[in-house]
Amino acid sequence: MKTIKLFSVLFIFAILVSGCKRDKNNDVDPDVDPIIESVNDLQVPPDFNWKTTKTIQVSVNLPVSGDLEPLIITNRDGSKRYFRGFPEDGSRTINTVITIPTYVYELRLTYNGAVGPNMAFVSDGSLTYDFNNRSKSTRVVGCDLSGFTTYSKGGWGQKSAGNNVGSLRDEYWDQVYPNGLVVGDANNYTITFNGTEDVENWRFPGGGPEVLTQSWVNPGRRDKLGNMADQIIAARLNRDYNAAGFLGVNPNYDLGELVFMDGPFANMTVNNFLAMAEIALGGGGLNGFSVNDYKDAAENIINSFHEGNNAGILYCPTDPEENDPFIELTSTCVHPDVIFTITNTGDGDMTSEYSGTMYLNNVEQGSGTYQLAVNETMEIVVDGYNTDVFRLEIETPQGEILIEEITGCGEEEGGGGGGNGDDGTTEQLTGTLAYEDLWPGKGDYDFNDLVIDYNFDVNKNDQEIVQSIQATFVVKAFGASYHNGFGFTLPTVFPSDIVSVSGYDVINTTVFNIAGNGLENGQSKATIIVFDDARRIMPQTTGGIGVNTQLEYDFIEPVTVVVDIVFANNAVTYSELNIGSFNPFIIVNTVINDAPGVRGLEVHLPNYPPSDLFDDSYLGTMEDDSSVAEGRYFVTDTNLPWAINIAEGFDWVIEFQDITGAHLFFAEWAQSGGINYPDWYKNNTGYRDHSKIYPTQIGR
């Protein structure tokens, strides 16, 4: 048996060497602070999990009065929904889990008719909120916020080039900081930058948020002062360049005069916050807040008008000479809901109630009243068909009638007229998976051996019982010569919980044994093989290594596979499903020399366990450093992965290009253990070298 296993390992080694014929250089620069030219140069914390998502516990107390309505959880601006549902136990408290991008630490909670704004911070992996114990806001938001612009710490740390932020920093540094930039508590510890080149050399290297324990003058790249320091310094740069008239000029206010809309520092001006934050950073005391509070609020300043886009974080200060309410009415689509938002953007509270009427396709649906304090909002939620037209008409204290009309959102999910608790809801999880397929040998770290988008639509009833999942997979590219299959496991679901699976594309019945209900046989957890061979379902027609990774060959349209999964009655609740924990993997060499290949060679995300049909003789061979006892899988001895899961859309790199040279903050993200640039994959200014990214080069 040992001889057979040894032969198997040697055989696969030979295939691995020849399978992807690529130019590679895995030598690590021995310099103590090398220039990062490859993923192989990274010094990654051993406990870094490589995740761009986080699964958080949610506990929300719904309003105690009124009909039970679905709770909606979105990002701050409502453009991305993470949850829509009900309590699992019929109570007024929702306890569930949701998966969100790691860079999101603030969420918007919407409940039909509840007064807001209802923003909650994610802290220590959880979110808690009580609609029955909400602090009233007293700030003013009805003002002109045009002209403001802010930039991220990545922008401020850039080398000067063209019209980028680094050029702005260099050009005006001596006028903004004639005596240098000093941040911190003068009575304790400070950070000093004498010149613009010193900020560029430092480049905000991050680390966990912490208070200073010494003073620094012109810290270097290896001097990680912590993410609290990074964000406060970047916020100072934004505030100071604005105050000097060189960044985001507004006719009425400086950036420092604006106030926080919500959060721990609600109603406090940017100037006052930064003064308090610098004392906290320098060791003068946290004043009852946490280092994460300061770090997150400073980052909010940075994001408030990122590249000129108002994120609704900062607002104008109160004008004590005015005392009139002013009502604004807006609407937005958060599939499948239409949300109407009534906001008092004036300088005074409403002193009496005013009426409003909702219409669906010109038929009156109902009416009600509203009364709002300064900057308070009321959100009215309705749902319906794509073609439904909703109209809300409201009276204002000035005797006007405001009208807002919007076409319905998405597909039928409960009929028109508003959430009444009688119908189910659908949750969505989306992202992109990118693989290297030479495991257990290292790849070239272009992460394009398979690039596949996924979208899970999880359908559940009003008791949060999962009824079905529609899983859509779009094969975008593969830069490998292997024949690779793809599948995933639902680790909290047993095969008996599934009634049927349909839509998968598997014809290789020698390698794969699919049960009558569509699951793979021999698995203790529900495992679905989506397709058996990427090269079969997306044929290579123009030469080259694979498809859609080399610019000299024609683009081939992506291939979509839709898998429908039907659950048994009362099998799994949404929180038990925990869809964010799904375990996707590729199966390498399902076809070898036009004959059925092997099933046991899987490649998973880092520290995700293999399936029951995996051949564990590969573990610990070549450059793999897996340890079953320690729960460590599919990483090298320096904690490098073979696959990544990107929380949102991902633009992959061209063939032979290491990901660090295209996504310019991937390295800092990895070396900081995920603290710095958790949104490294976004198309923000300074984040990419577009010449090395395939979709950019072909204009898609």
> 60-92 pLDDT, tens per residue?
999 998 889 999 999 988 889 999 999 999 899
Contact at 8 Å (CB) between 372 and 326?
no
Q: Residue 457's pLDDT is what?
A: 96
Q: What is the average pLDDT value for the chain, to the nearest integer?
A: 88
- Look at residue 34 in the predicted model and tell me its pLDDT: 55
Question: Do 454 and 390 share a structural domain?
Answer: no
Inside any domain, residue 208: yes
What mean pLDDT comes out for the span 612-636? 96
Residue-wise pLDDT tens digits, 535-551: 999 999 888 899 999 99
Per residue in 573-594, pLDDT tens? Answer: 999 999 999 999 999 999 999 9
Q: Do 218 and 200 share a structural domain?
A: yes
Reported as a single tens digit per residue, the pLDDT across 322-366 is: 568 899 999 998 888 899 999 988 878 899 999 999 999 999 999
pLDDT for position 411: 61
My answer on whether 97 and 14 are in the same domain is no
Please check whether residue 235 is in contact with residue 301, taking contact to mean a CB–CB distance below 8 angstroms: yes
Q: Could you tell me if 468 and 389 lie in one domain?
A: no
Residue 10: what pLDDT? Answer: 34
Residues 76, 176 within the same domain: no
Q: Is residue 142 part of a domain?
A: no
Residue with tokens 């912590």: 226
Do 11 and 59 sit in the same domain of this protein?
no
Residue 41, pLDDT score: 92
Establish if 28 belongs to a structural domain.
yes
Report residue 489 as tokens. 């496991």
Please indicate, yes or no, if residue 415 is contained in any of the structural domains.
no
The amino acid at residue 613 is L
Q: Report pLDDT for 5.
A: 33
Mean pLDDT value of segment 431-436:
98
User: What angle do helix axes 291-303 and 270-281 make, rounded to 10 degrees?
Assistant: 140
Q: Is there a domain that residue 143 lies in?
A: no
Claim to verify: residue 352 and residue 389 sit in the same structural domain: yes
Which residue type occupies 677? Y
Position 465 in a domain: yes
Q: Which of 65-74, 140-149, 262-271 has the highest mean pLDDT?
A: 65-74
83 with 23, same domain: the answer is: no
What would the mean pLDDT of 114-127 be, rounded to a whole number?
85
What pLDDT shows up at residue 436? 96
Residue 94: C-alpha distances to residues 25, 70, 131, 422 (Å) = 52, 10, 12, 17
Domain extent, residue 362, equals 327-407
- Looking at 351, 374, 407, the residue that finishes a domain is 407
Q: Indicate if the pLDDT at residue 415 is higher than 50.
A: no
| Planar angle of CA 690, 695, 699, nearest 5 degrees | 90
User: Which residues have CB under 8 Å from 129's CB, separation 6+?
Assistant: 59, 60, 61, 109, 118, 120
- For the stretch 271-301, pLDDT in tens is 999 999 999 999 988 888 888 889 999 999 9
Structure tokens at 434: 């990118």
pLDDT greater at residue 301 or residue 224: 301
**Cα 259 from Cα 255, distance rounded (Å):** 9
Give the number of domains in the chain: 4
Domain for residue 556, yes or no? yes
In a shared domain, residues 308 and 334? no
What number of other Cβ atoms are within 10 A of residue 151's Cβ?
29
Read off the pTM. 0.80
How high is the pLDDT of residue 322? Answer: 54
The conformation of residue 359, written as its DSSP 8-state character, comes to: E
Last residue of a domain, which of 372, 407, 442?
A: 407
pLDDT at 273: 95
Q: What is the CATH classification number for the domain harbouring 365?
A: 2.60.40.10
Ranges of H-type helices in 547-671 = 574-577, 666-671
Residues 43, 62: one domain?
Answer: no
What number is the average pLDDT over the span 427-445? 95
Looking at the structure, tell me whether residues 509 and 449 fall in a common domain: yes
Q: What local confidence, expressed as pLDDT, does residue 123 receive? A: 77
147 inside domain: no
